[in-house]
Amino acid sequence: MKPVRALVVASAFAVLALAACNTVKGVGTDLQKGAEATSKAIDKATD
């Protein structure tokens, strides 16, 4: 997967996760999951 495409996919995931949360704790969890997905996508793109 191209690096830019991977970043776009990870960003889209993060936006959708944030839109789905209902509580402050949920925001923290969603941000963490989004950051993990972004990190994984970047790792895959750089391998």
Total domain count, the chain: 1
CA–CA–CA angle 7, 29, 37 (5° rounding): 20
8 Å CB contact between 42 and 6: yes
Per-residue pLDDT tens for 1-47? Answer: 567 787 888 888 877 776 765 666 677 888 898 889 888 888 888 87
Q: Residue 30: its pLDDT value, please?
A: 81
8 Å CB contact between 45 and 7: yes
Both ends of the chain: CA-CA distance in Å? 10
- Parent domain of 41: 3-46
Q: What is the pTM of this model?
A: 0.48
- Name the amino acid, one letter, at 5: R
